[in-house]
Chains A and B, each alone.
Chain A
Amino acid sequence: MSFQLPIDPKSSEAGRFITSVHEELQNAYIESGVQKNKLAAVLGCDKSRVTRVLTGKENLTLRTLAEFAWALNYKPSFQMRKNNPPKGCNNFISSDAKPKTPKSTYYSGICNQQKQTSSSATVSTKIYGLIDG
């Protein structure tokens, strides 16, 4: 017996994206080796705010993200790409080749997800270090 987490695809995509952006910023902070008090001084804010942003206790706006990246000597980048599975992929489902009965719950879940998100795009954010070029 399995239990599917009751979340709609839109909320799921939003939550995963926000979480991944925070994680990317945290990784950049760790990799930079910059101390919080120094970061706060460069940004002109309190150390407590730096902590709040890094630990996800404050909503991360694009401006905040850009400012933190600048202060850490990183350059953020943002891209959007189509979320369609490539042809030949195991889960590729053409309009005329949909299975009448899903082989398993997992496959069924994927089918449903593809139906719901076929027109959506995947977004990703990376923060690149300037020091390493």
Chain B
Amino acid sequence: MSTLKELIENGELQEIEVNLAFDEQKWRRLYGTNEFIKWVTDELVNLKSPLIGQDITPLEQVDAVFRDFIVGKDMQPNKVFKKLRFSPEVYVWEIRTWDIRIFGWFPLKDHFICVYGDRKEDIVTFNKYDRYIAQTKYFREQLMLNEPKFVESKKIKDVLSIAN
């Protein structure tokens, strides 16, 4: 069994970085599986928004939500659109943008591991929600991460703190 740091050193996970402004600092940490990183570099970078007239690409949406996550912003600032949502039963969470859903979990408070990403349109059309949640759970079970492997809570305040 390994720590998060050891999994990164072994190349099983990668820490995800985004550009931060001079007045921004890291508050939380994001990690990605190799499969997730491959999806970002092979697919996400080429995706277009399916929404007519939308002038923000899926990659830009993900950059914005990752930046909000990393600098410690409130991920559910209002009820209109939640950037982070709990998927029931198995402590899998999803980071959400208008066009993209990213499934993963919190191994520690303020640390999120991205496992799968896909277009919201495809997930809804082909009813992939349950599959991604099950696959994320399976990946977590197989990962040689020290127990407890995840924060066992459905409350956002237990998995995230908000930067001052």
Provide the A19-57 mask, 1 if CB < 8 A to any CB of B, else 0.
Answer: 110110011011000000000000000000000001111
Interface size class on chain B is 35 or more
A129 to chain B, nearest CB (A): 15
Chain A at the B interface: SS class: helix
CB < 8 Å A-B pair total: 120
Q: Is the CB of A3 within 8 A of B15?
A: yes
In the complex, which residues of chain B have a beta carbon less than 8 angstroms from the beta carbon of A57? 51, 54, 98
A89 to chain B, nearest CB (A): 6
**Which of A10-18, A72-80, A94-102 lies at the interface with chain B?**
A10-18
Closest partner residue, chain A, to B15 (CB atom) = A2
Given A30-B79, A54-B80, A3 and B98 touching (CB < 8 A)? no
In the complex, which residues of chain B have a beta carbon less than 8 angstroms from the beta carbon of A113? 19-21
| Complex Cα spacing A42 to B67, Å | 35
Interface size class on chain A is 35 or more
Q: Is the CB of B81 within 8 A of A56?
A: yes
Check: A6 CB closer than 8 A to any chain B CB: yes
B42 to chain A, nearest CB (A): 11
Neighbour of B59 across the interface among A7, A85, A89, A105, CB < 8 A: A7
B13 to chain A, nearest CB (A): 8
Enumerate chain B interface residues (CB-CB to A < 8 A). 8-9, 11, 14-23, 26, 32, 37, 40-41, 45, 51, 53-57, 59-68, 77-81, 98
Enumerate chain A interface residues (CB-CB to B < 8 A). 1-7, 9, 11-12, 14-16, 18-20, 22-23, 26-27, 29-30, 54-59, 83, 85, 89, 91-92, 105-106, 109-110, 113-114, 122
